[in-house]
Structure 1
Amino acid sequence: MLNLSDALPPAAVHAVLALAGLSALFAVKHLVADFLMQTSRMARGKERRAGWMAPLAAHVSCHAGLTLLIVLAVAPHLWWLTAVDFSIHIAVDRAKTAIAQRPGFTPDQPRFWWLLGLDQCLHQLTNIGLATALMLL
């Protein structure tokens, strides 16, 4: 079995472990903000055809707030990554809702679940990007 510390210099091992740790932290952040902090008002409201902006902004603010806590703990000078997370999250969620409002996007249809999976994948890719930015910037 390959030992990572034998194959890479110590600084590279440290960087890999730091990136993995930050990525895991952002994944937990996403779980907390998307599922534990999101209220029924946010969840239902952001999917309305009208009046969706305030509930969506409230939901995405949960993500931005937790991102800010992580960023301030790791690299306070990158506080602006919070706005990046906010912007990407609001765009992804709004796009998902706009597509899901079309006919045929119901939980009994595979495409509903594909869309939900794509939404979650995009959020996790954003989290990896944020973790990478914290490591490189």
Structure 2
Amino acid sequence: MRRALLPVLLSSLTLTAAASPAPQMNDASAASSRPISTGVTSPHLVSTAHFSIPAGAMPTTIGSSTRVVLKVNLDETGTPTNVQILHPAATTEIDQRVVSAVRQFRWTPAILNNKAVPEELTLTVEVQR
């Protein structure tokens, strides 16, 4: 049994050595490599809009609140260009009012390589009584 085990152990060392990476070749493109990014800055909310929900549209439980989860596409200026509901609230009236308000929100733009870029984000809005 010991004789059979020794070749098995030694063969695993051989396989490990065979799997080691090949030496790096001198490539002309490696000398002219560039950084992938000079940095990324996420958008920050700078302006919101007030909105109201009629009492009849809210859930009737004590201390009730409801959430709407949205996908918001921002352009290069931080302005929402597309707002989609991912998880709706208790009523469609709440959803419509939240989406309408979020379209008026403004963000600082997302920055990539010192340039403003469009960004997609997920936003959760909690509506409280």
TM-score (norm 2): 0.30
Q: Which gives a bigger RCO, structure 1 or 2 (Cα 8 Å, sep 6+)? A: 2
Structure with the larger strand share: 2
Structure with the larger helix share: 1
Structure number with bigger Rg: 2
